[in-house]
Amino acid sequence: MKKIIEVKHLTKKYRKIKAIDNLSFYVFENEILGLLGPNGSGKTTTINAMLSLLSYDKGNICYLGKEITPDSYDIKKEIGVVFQEIAVFDELTVYENIDYFCGLYIEDKKIRKKYVDDAIKLVKLEQFVNYKPKALSGGLKRRLNIACGIAHKPKIIFLDEPTVAVDPQSRNNILEGIKKLRENGATIIYTTHYMEEVEKICDRIIILDKGKIICQGTKEELKQLTGIEEKVTIEINNLDRNHIEKFKKLQNVKNVEYRFENLEITFIKGKNNFTKLIDYLKKEKISYNKIYSEMPTLNDVFLELTGKDLKD
């Protein structure tokens, strides 16, 4: 695969603290790369450095083999950025906002009109082109924010928490739009605190913690790192503490947690764990409301590797 971005030995210090510690990774052409990490992991610093918005102490960042600097305008015109904070003009309509930001890159009026129309269609704002931002819901503003950042059809797009605090319908529209951008040839660097979004759209994932990469790969490759073969959740009311300790001693059990009337049991590799567990419940005469089994999720991976939830 063709490398679009190369980050090599990137280091950034704030006094004696290393926000980024000798970071090296690639971004491949036409992929959606999920860049994840708990708060304080170095994600924002890394992105700002990649956009040449922040100086760094060591390393280099290259786009198609050319190092980016603050005045690398030939590179920057091929980049689209959608930050978490909504950045649009309240006095302009939806159409005027998108046209303004597109016009920063595209001078030809005919081409710009087509690009603006394409962006409006992508984020499904056709019915709102004459609205001003204050008349839009939070989800519609997010979609407008994305349209403004990608209207000039950049080859590389940075999306930082684009679905924060939006309704489910808007979230689905945004995720579908992001996949279409990739289908149209864009390479995307994506950050989020919603692991289910990563499961849906990211081709490859990098997890940062304390300024270092602790793992990277496809979601299938990362799930293999946990050593968890299966996770079983059982809804049990008022489970006795003694039973919890007994569950921990069952064959192939890696971890047991009991929270909010839900017993979660994770198993390492082994056969028929679910069947054996049901037999054990019957033997011990433990009644339960429901039980279900699932494969490990990316959230399980993240929690095991960082000791934190992604939203922490």
Query: For residue 299, what are its two tokens?
Result: 């959230």
Residue 116 has pLDDT above 60, yes or no: yes
Percent of the chain with pLDDT over 70: 99
What confidence score (pLDDT) does residue 310 get? 66
Q: What is the mean pLDDT of residues 235-241?
A: 93
223 pLDDT band, cuts 50/70/90, is: confident
Taking the C-alpha atoms of residue 192 and residue 245, their distance in angstroms, rounded to an integer, is 36
Can you list the domains of the chain with their CATH numbers?
Answer: 3-223 (3.40.50.300), 228-295 (3.30.70.100)
pTM above 0.85, yes or no: yes
Of 45, 58, 27, the residue nearest 211 (C-alpha): 45
Taking the C-alpha atoms of residue 205 and residue 207, their distance in angstroms, rounded to an integer, is 7
What confidence score (pLDDT) does residue 188 get? 98
| Measured CA angle at 71 (ends 65, 72), to 5 deg | 25
What confidence score (pLDDT) does residue 154 get? 97
Of 111, 15, 86, 98, the residue nearest 57 (C-alpha): 15
Residue 269 has pLDDT above 90, yes or no: no
User: Residue 63: which H helix or E strand, with range?
Assistant: strand 58-63
Q: What is the pLDDT of residues 162-192, one digit of tens each?
A: 998 888 888 998 999 999 999 999 999 999 9
Residue 227 has pLDDT above 80, yes or no: no
